[in-house]
Amino acid sequence: MRALLCVVFIVSINLCMGDTVVPAINQKLREGVSERIGNFSIELLYYTTRLQERNTNLIISPVTVWTILAVISEGAEGNTQKEICGAIRTTPKLQTIIRNDFRNIAQYLQVNTSTVELKKLNIMFINKKNVKEDFIERVKFYDTSALTLNFSDSNVLNKINSAVSAFTNNKIMKLVEADDLANSEMILTSALYFKGKWKVPFNTSSTTQLPFYNSAGKEIGKVNMMYNRYSYPFASIKQFQAKVIEIPYGKENRLSMLIMLPNEGVSLEDMFQKFGNTSLDVIFEELKKSVENFSEDEVDLLLPRFKIESKIEMTETLETMDIRDLFDQAKANLPGISNLPLFVSKVIHKAVIEVSESGTEAAAVTASEFSNRIGIIRFEANRPFCYMIIEKTTNVITFGGFYKEPSLY
């Protein structure tokens, strides 16, 4: 019987009041690995939500998924490597460039200021010493460290879960189950934690219960709708029939939440499918034009207060993205990781996001419509929408998801 490789992704976001310094744009980073991660992220979000039950809310961290797959590709060969590299937009010939570029990006995924905290943790939990030393050295390029444990030890489950819980400020208490350790030789974890204060916090006294509608305009429930008036960057982009607003975090302007709201009568799925052909650079360019041309214009923003928890077994999503041999006991080819025959038994992704008044704990030609901006613009997220938290120096999508099912949080 082949030994199992269990892959786990963990994410916690705590969005909580707010403090502008514009981040320095590194175009080289945006055009290199960051662009590859971005393309992968959009595809991952699209297929993950398609495979969920209809009208299910979603939160995932695409960059943690990309990182783990890049780590596995370092020990893969043959068709297994080809499939992984195809999905994450790399090739074995570019491995050295990818490693160096990722190391440059990784430094921007660490922020610790008075208003924003972003931190990451990548660890391989190894059973005894059954992983090759040169593989442990190679994955250091992805800021991943190794910790050797005895998986037969009755306390090992508690050790792993305690480490995860401490890192996520107790947002994710129990990640690994006893069954996950059975016959496993290695557990790969990639964790990202974000806590950010809005640059301009919402006033809690303005929050009120309002209806939430589906894409067809039918009321499907109520939400606690937050309200704020501010000169938010805003654009209406014809290409994917949606309005986009940028809500900045903190005084450094390093991270922002993008809300993409389909036009009335346009489904979230149709909008996001069109977005797949549009880079984030294009969206930020349109938002930049908005600021330059309408810097004094204010926007009335209405956004639901919400909390989403997702625990997803992502094997089916990745198979839809043409990664198949990795999960096949007879076909997986991972000789660079261990002398033992390995395959990936499961891919677990667990994530939590809370959005409140104080903050968050956690190309074709594009046409924009600005000509009719007279008076106060109203951006009311009262129907299904997509949200993404972006690290703006690199354009990396740290977190993303969909809000479809209303609740009174």
Q: What is the pLDDT of residues 241-294, one digit of tens each?
A: 899 999 999 877 788 999 999 999 899 888 888 876 666 777 878 887 877 766
Portions of the chain given CATH number 3.30.497.10: 3-198+307-355
Portions of the chain given CATH number 2.30.39.10: 204-303+363-403
- Measured in degrees and rounded to the nearest 5, phi and psi for residue 370 equal -120, -15
Lowest mean pLDDT among 44-53, 143-152, 275-284, 363-372: 363-372
- pLDDT surpassing 50 at residue 367: no
Residue with the bigger pLDDT between 19 and 94: it is: 94
Residue with the bigger pLDDT between 245 and 143: it is: 245
The pLDDT, as a whole number, for residue 325 is 95
The pLDDT, as a whole number, for residue 296 is 63
- pLDDT surpassing 50 at residue 366: no
* pTM confidence score: 0.86
Lowest mean pLDDT among 117-121, 265-269, 321-325: 117-121
- pLDDT surpassing 60 at residue 17: no
The pLDDT, as a whole number, for residue 26 is 53
Ranges of beta strands (E only) in 231-341 are 234-237, 242-248, 255-262, 299-304, 306-313
Dig out the tokens for 315 from the structure.
């094997």
Percent of the chain with pLDDT over 90: 31
> CB of 71 within 8 A of CB of 142?
yes
The pLDDT, as a whole number, for residue 3 is 58
- pLDDT surpassing 90 at residue 111: no
CATH of domain 204-303+363-403: 2.30.39.10
- pLDDT surpassing 50 at residue 36: yes
Instruction: Give 155's DSSP letter.
Output: T
Give the pLDDT band (50/70/90) at residue 370.
Answer: very low
Residue position matching structure tokens 């964790």: 191
Give the pLDDT band (50/70/90) at residue 297.
Answer: confident
Residues 6+ apart with CB under 8 A from 265: 215, 216, 217
Average pLDDT of the residues in 63-89: 94
Give just the sign of the alpha carbon dihedral 153, 154, 158, 164: positive
- pLDDT surpassing 80 at residue 201: yes
The pLDDT, as a whole number, for residue 294 is 65
CATH architecture of the domain formed by 3-198+307-355: 2-Layer Sandwich (3.30)
The pLDDT, as a whole number, for residue 375 is 54
CA 120 to each of CA 17, 67, 82, 117: distance values in angstroms, whole numbers, following the listed order: 22, 11, 27, 10
Lowest mean pLDDT among 162-171, 205-214, 247-256, 365-374: 365-374
- pLDDT surpassing 90 at residue 219: yes
The pLDDT, as a whole number, for residue 373 is 38
- pLDDT surpassing 60 at residue 304: yes
Percent of the chain with pLDDT over 70: 86
Pairing outcome for strands 396-403 and 342-355: unpaired
Lowest mean pLDDT among 144-153, 296-305, 357-366: 357-366
Residue position matching structure tokens 């299910």: 56
Alpha helices in 126-234 (DSSP H): 133-138, 156-167, 178-181
When mean pLDDT is compared over 132-136, 209-213, 298-302, 375-379, the highest value belongs to 209-213
The pLDDT, as a whole number, for residue 104 is 87
> CB of 276 within 8 A of CB of 46?
yes
- pLDDT surpassing 70 at residue 94: yes
- Measured in degrees and rounded to the nearest 5, phi and psi for residue 376 equal -80, 130
